[in-house]
Structure formats: C-alpha cells, structure tokens
Copies of this chain bind each other. A is one copy, B any other.
Amino acid sequence: MFDNQKGSNLPVINSEMSEAEINRMMESACEASNFLKAISHEGRLMILCHLATGEKSVTELEQLLSARQAAVSQQLARLRSEGLVEPRRDGKTIYYSLTDRRAVQILDVVYELFCKKG
C-alpha cells in the first residue's frame, strides 16, 4: 500500500545488491536504531521538544517535566552521550541546547504526525 510509488524516497532493496552495500545498510540501520532508541523515551522526547524552543537549565527542565533531579540529569547524560545536546556552564547553572540537526528534523516529523492531528 505505502510503497515507493507513493512518493517515498526509500531505497529499493533487491537481491542484486552487493554484500558491501548490504553491510553498509545494516550499519546504517544500527546507527539509526541507536539514535531512535535515544529519542524514544517520553522524558527525553519532551526534553528535546523543550530545548527546541531554546536552551534550558537542568532545573528548568525538572520543573517543565515535573521530574526528579537525578532522572533529568540521567536523561540528559544519555542525550549528551549520543551527541544530541550540549551543556554550557554559566556560574552554578548548566544550560543545555540541541546540537544535532537530525534530532530537530525527526522531532519536526514526529510533532507533525502525533501532535497536530485532530
């Protein structure tokens, strides 16, 4: 039903692909699934959404998410280790901001698909 004819730009995967091409594809799938795992967590998703409107301190995020300090900090650590966010220290507080355009692009689509529907 929703296949390539319908405006998708997805690759055609066929049996003529070389082993090298298959391997590259598997690697990409692995990379992509790690990325998706990083953002497929309600709290982390909300953090990314909030950061999309500009940098926020950890305390601000705690309040916005009604979550505990340790939890938010851990979620930020995960996002940091995936290279999706970046800390900036100003005195005692640390501000986080998005660093990865991929996060923004996916977020855009996700928002479009899950938040704008009736």
Binding site for B on A (CB under 8 A): 1-4, 6, 8-14, 25-26, 28-33, 35-37, 39-42, 45-46, 49-54, 64, 86, 97-115
Contacts and interface: CB of A to CB of B under 8 A. Distances in A.
A30 B11 contact: no
Contacts of A41: 33
Nearest to A51: B3
A98 to B, nearest CB: 4
Contacts of A54: 3-4
B98 A9 contact: no
Contacts of A105: 109, 112-113
B12 A53 contact: yes
